[in-house]
Structure 1
């Protein structure tokens, strides 16, 4: 099934190492070519010979051992990988990856790969729940790394809790999903706007909104997975941009975002306007902090340019996707935006629904096209919503 695919498996030191042998066996039965990299600690649990016998490829353990080929080892393996699996992944390896440390063959190779990376943690419950470990895991997730979550049960140390390596069946299922990911956007160039804008009142204060940027970043990550060249234009967020962006443009104000979209417009085929852009800005900016007084303060506001509307006037054969976050009259408002802004379709969500507002990891959307057709979706993870949007864009690109 996957005879032309290579999975590189990084094995770090932990009692769960033996389960990775079963993972390799299952992948080989699917026709996958498997290469293994072991950390020094991993070799204390299972010998490299065991992995070599099952993978039918030599196992790399030491950065400085005599090379088996004339290729630069870590670069060669990094390029070969369609998926890079780390199982088991210890707290140590996860921490190194999250902080850009590459001091052995495993961390050096994963740093050099552009393949999809799948991480299967395994460790003591207290270690797994440690805030530092969770921060590192979240950092990697935000960067676009994939995880197979550990299971709960009795651990090797005798503790009961979460931290067991996922079953070989589960890990292989996740690898297969990644190997099967469509590359239907390969060669396509996409602008994605994300996050809020900030409109300054004075050096201290500004007008903004509650957008976290999670939806736009999820679209960017999934578009990259599907082969697209992505330019992400991002307002201020706390998110880590996904790996392998073509370009990241950080902006602050609505004018900054408009200028960035126009600057990158010609070289892109698709524009996805998922950012929450401020409709208004202060008419006058004070270069000194406005001091408190006994009187009320009035701030006069001017309209910002409607970026989607301006792009809609010049888009020609490009695909333009808008977003509508509403608290009332969702369908009516969204349909009006499709026509006014010359959108190919709009993604509408009701902010009053639980799981569909700002800052959460899920969304509940309706997609409305220019013919007025409405497709409703249940609550899904934002990554799933992203793929729904990209599926629709792929269909439009085939016209």
Structure 2
């Protein structure tokens, strides 16, 4: 029975991994349709609670929801198969793209690559626009988002991201209690995770976060693990918000050039599945990393902290979610995410891709295709990439 359930989980998530375009918010919509409405694995209220938990924790929210759904349906093997099936298709495509991008040459290829960098502006701008409307619906949370922008601007690197989230959560705790929704009568979530396992997972999360920086420098594989683990551990909001953290780790360190970084980020928009698979592309480009081995290591390292935190929190979540203070804290942290993404829209996305009026017009076209004509992200990537050929010198 358990084996059939594991197989069921793998097949369901593989189909989603091949077809789920549109980013983390769209993925959550796909999951709801498949597992709440069609398969009825859990109720609407239970699913809403699970999404709220994963949005609150650092890491890729949609992948964490998928991991939890697999865990709930078929235990640890179900969780592993849910992640593998949902992640592998896009990871394979991006690694192949990394190997091919290094040998691309000629005006047409250069134009496509430039178009992929420009489309990143449209994608991130669209994400900021949508998240601002949903997560900053009042003056208080708009102010928290603005404060987060200043925190990121004045405190560069990953530390600025963490400071913005912490300050946003504290501000939410103080100012957003009035809008916090009570969760007392929501359906409890039940997962096959004991308190002991939860405590071990939390210990591993914290231990690796402290130990890996101390071991970095001893071997390339430890450097790669440290950089991508830290990025996965410190990012709130998942998806696009990991962009500035990864940029700080791989571009500022000299592993990957800014052009290679934005080219891969643009390509990641054209494929289904989680955006965190962008890490596999970056790992494949790291010198002396062994290419495929480094890509695999980067992919595992960036997902691991989010999953450890999720497993660690699940046994305690039902009690925590009833606290009004927790609801207020989550609203402040989510508003700060909007500010972080807004800052990333300018640097490095805008400053690296928009070199003149032609690039601006192309990026604006992509933004309007997303917001007004409601085209899927993969279609906009194709249009803007081809536009890059037209504007190429």
TM-score normalised by length of structure 2: 0.22
Greater strand share, 1 or 2? 1
Larger radius of gyration: 1
TM-score normalised by length of structure 1: 0.22
